[in-house]
Amino acid sequence: MSAPYPESPAGTYGWRPIVIIASLFFIIGFVTWLNGPLITFVQVAFDLSTVSAFLVPMCFYFSYLLFPVPATMLAQRTGLRGGLVIALVILSAGIAIFGECVSVRWYPGALGGLFVIGAGLSLLQVTINPYVTLLGPPQKAAQRIAIMGVANKLAGIVAPIVLALLVMRNINDIALRVKAAPDAGARDRILDQFAHAVQAPYLVMALILLVTAVGLARSSLPEIDISTPEDEDVAAEEKDPKRGGPAYLWFGVACMFLYVGTEVMAGDAIGAYGASLGLPLDQTKFFTSLTLAAMMCGYILGMFLVPRVFSQERYLGLSAGCGLVLCALTWLTHGYVSVMCVALFGFANAMILPALFPIVIREVKERSAQATAMLVMAFSGGAVLPQIFVQTMPFLGVQNAFVALMAPSYGLIILYDILIQRRGRSRPAPVMMVES
């Protein structure tokens, strides 16, 4: 028999490690959700088309396709805590590169900086999520994940507002001045001054990350062996002969790919969506925060309902169903109402990843390391779906193109959920995850 678990989700390590890791989740959220307003920013600063501006999420999320496997191998050599430190250093370098390249208006260099940022976040994702899961008793993992999710979403709300106030205060005026510039030289002088405003905030962020990495390396965070089962129950689950095969893994990875795409569409593309409907840039720069506020509300609600009222399988299906309803409302409405429907996708999306990730891992527990890397690689869906959106938008129209991508994604997640529920697998899972 296993020993009884303590009541606190912190377990034997106490609350200090949880507070430290929650601060790292805040950093992940802050860096990740800057992409939304950055699309609008680079479109003005570099005088780009919408398609070119959407290279921002493409470069950022494409790195998730390339780096999770080497990141997993590195984490196995350095340990989870060492992997966290290296990830923060890489993240700091990417942020510094991006800020410098934007300040001199070199767009390929800025995209390269985003690619490095994505590499750092890939390593951070494959180390920090197992660390949170193993930090305390498995029965309390959901509560620890909830804390991390709130920190992540709070950062996502704050980040676009901070960027908008620091470097995008007069973006609508800048866009009008650029159009009215008498010649290319005058236009470039306006844009150079506008782009240079990014340099100081990004250098400060890079410095904060370096200091955090040093502090983390010298902290008292426990070193946890990811290969060690937490209790006899987990070891017994690994021997379950009814567990799903490769088909369930690939189906789950496809769902994760589409889900992250829908999350980026609702969060990063909402500004471009609103601008395409004729809304002013001074307002659209804040729209990502609306999505993240809705997402945090959805996460807090899910925290209380799962598993008290609904199993995570049932809640996954309800969340995707809510997404389908919002697809219909987004398509049928116009202007600010349609934009608010897009923002509410954050509410529908909030609990999809925290439910989907552990379900997939549970079905292929004997290949959990491989599955974890593949699921993080599936975050590259955030690079693909927004690009399809901007490529098809001129032909289908903004609302038709948006819904044509979102609705099938939610439909596939519902189908996967139905198959899983038919297998009758409703027991708690040992691994959960918060954010792309």
Tell me, yes or no, whether 172 lies in a domain.
Answer: yes
pLDDT per position as a tens digit, 284-334: 878 888 898 898 888 888 878 877 788 888 999 999 999 999 999 999 999
Residue 155's pLDDT band, with cuts at 50, 70 and 90, is: confident
In a domain, 1, yes or no: no
First to last CA, the chain: 37
Quote the Cα angle for 105-106-108, to 5°. Answer: 140
Question: What is the maximum alpha-carbon separation in the chain?
Answer: 80
Alpha-carbon torsion (301, 303, 306, 312), positive or negative? positive
Work out the pLDDT band at 413, boundaries 50, 70, 90: very high
Q: Is residue 302 part of a domain?
A: yes
Residue 129, Cβ density class (10 Å: 0-12 exposed, 13-18 middle, ≥19 buried): buried
* pLDDT tens, residue by residue, 93-109: 999 999 999 999 999 99
- Could you tell me which of 106, 85, 87, 88 has the C-alpha nearest to residue 97? 106
Domain of residue 93 covers 11-219+228-422
Q: What is the pLDDT at residue 139? A: 52
> What domain count does the chain have?
1
- Is 284 within the bounds of a domain? yes
Residue 424, both tokens: 């009758």
Q: Is the peptide bond before 386 cis (omega within 30 degrees of 0)?
A: no
Tell me, what's the pLDDT at 365? 67
Asked if the model's pLDDT at residue 1 lies above 50, the reply is no
Going by pLDDT thresholds of 50, 70 and 90, the confidence category of residue 173 is confident
Q: Choose among 417, 407, 249, 427: nearest CA to 317.
A: 417
Residue 433 domain-assigned?
A: no
What are 280's two structure tokens? 């002013």
Q: CA dist 297 to 302, 310, 325, Å?
A: 9, 17, 18
How far lies 69's CA from each of 66, 119, 125, 373, in Å? 7, 11, 12, 6
Residue 430 lies in a domain: no
Token pair belonging to 42: 């680079």
Q: Which residues contact 100 (CB under 8 A, 6 or more apart)?
A: 109, 113, 199, 202, 203
Q: With cut-offs at 50, 70 and 90, classify the pLDDT of residue 252.
A: very high
Higher pLDDT, 210 or 132: 210
| Domain-located, residue 114 | yes
Q: What is the pLDDT of residue 229?
A: 42
Alpha-carbon distance of 329 to 379, in angstroms, equals 26
More confident site: 33 or 325? 325
Tell me how crowded residue 303 is: count the other CB atoms within 10 A of its CB. Answer: 19
Q: Encoding tokens for residue 310?
A: 């609904």
Q: 68 lies in a domain?
A: yes
Domain of 133, CATH number, reads 1.20.1250.20
- 3-state secondary structure string, 22-36? HHHHHHHHHHHCCHH
pLDDT of 76 higher than 70:
yes
Sign of CA dihedral 97, 100, 102, 106: negative
Q: Output the pLDDT for position 8.
A: 55
Instruction: Please report the DSSP string for 166-202 in residue order.
Output: HH-TTHHHHHHHHHH-SSHHHHHHHHHHHHHTTHHHH
Confidence category of residue 39, pLDDT binned at 50, 70, 90: confident
